[in-house]
């Protein structure tokens, strides 16, 4: 199984709502990522979890709160978002965290989910 799944596919929320995005992989990968992608732009890294611990936070506003309940699941909790947060949110996983000397190439290959299209009104 080389699939990363994300739910929901689409989400519309108001600025006062609380919602969560979910991501799941069953490839035994130990690194998981959240990216944000605006239209016609490349993905921008938000968070990295390595062995279920948050290893990178790219200065993301606190209205985005990541959570890694176990090695297969990654959540992104959303609260009090702004309209400019509307984007495609992509989850990805890789065999291991980047930066390790062991098998950098395998660790570098990321498997992406289909994304959640988020619209904040």
Partner 1 sequence: SQQGEEDPQALSIQEGENATMNCSYKTSINNLQWYRQNSGRGLVHLILIRSNEREKHSGRLRVTLDTSKKSSSLLITASRAADTASYFCALPNTGGFKTIFGAGTRLFVKA
Query: CB of 112 within 8 A of CB of 88?
Result: no
Q: Which two tokens stand for residue 95?
A: 């065999």
Torsion of CA 105, 90, 23, 112, to 10 degrees: -40
Q: How far is the CB of 89 from partner 1 (least distance, A)?
A: 11
Q: Which two tokens stand for residue 8?
A: 């929901």
Map tokens 């390595």 to a residue. 50
Question: By CB under 8 A, is residue 56 in contact with partner 1?
Answer: yes
Neighbouring residues of 78: CB distance < 8 A, sequence distance ≥ 6? 13, 17, 18, 19, 20, 21, 63, 64, 65, 85, 118
Question: By CB under 8 A, is residue 115 in contact with partner 1?
Answer: yes
Listed ranges 12-20, 66-74, 78-86, 97-105: which one lies at the site for partner 1 (CB under 8 A): 97-105
Using CB under 8 A, which of 69, 99, 103, 121 touches partner 1?
A: 99
Contact letters for partner 1, residues 16-55 (x by CB under 8 A): ------------------------xxxx-x--x------x
Question: By CB under 8 A, is residue 112 in contact with partner 1?
Answer: yes
Query: CB of 94 within 8 A of CB of 31?
Result: yes
Nearest residue (CB) to partner 1, 97 versus 120 = 97
Residues making contact with partner 1 (CB under 8 A):
4, 6, 40-43, 45, 48, 55-56, 88, 90, 92, 97-99, 104-105, 108-115, 117
């Amino acid at each position: 199984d080389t699939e990363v799944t994300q739910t929901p596919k689409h989400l519309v929320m108001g600025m006062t709502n609380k919602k969560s995005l979910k991501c799941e992989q069953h490839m035994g990968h130990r690194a998981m990522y959240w990216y944000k992608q605006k239209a016609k732009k490349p993905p921008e890294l938000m968070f990295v979890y390595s062995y279920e611990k948050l290893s990178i936070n790219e200065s993301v506003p606190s209205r985005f709160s990541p959570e890694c309940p176990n090695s297969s699941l990654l959540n992104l909790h959303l609260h009090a978002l702004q309209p400019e947060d509307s984007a495609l949110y992509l989850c990805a996983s890789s065999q291991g965290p980047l930066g390790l000397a062991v098998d950098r190439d395998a660790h570098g290959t990321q498997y992406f989910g289909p994304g959640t299209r988020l619209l904040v009104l």
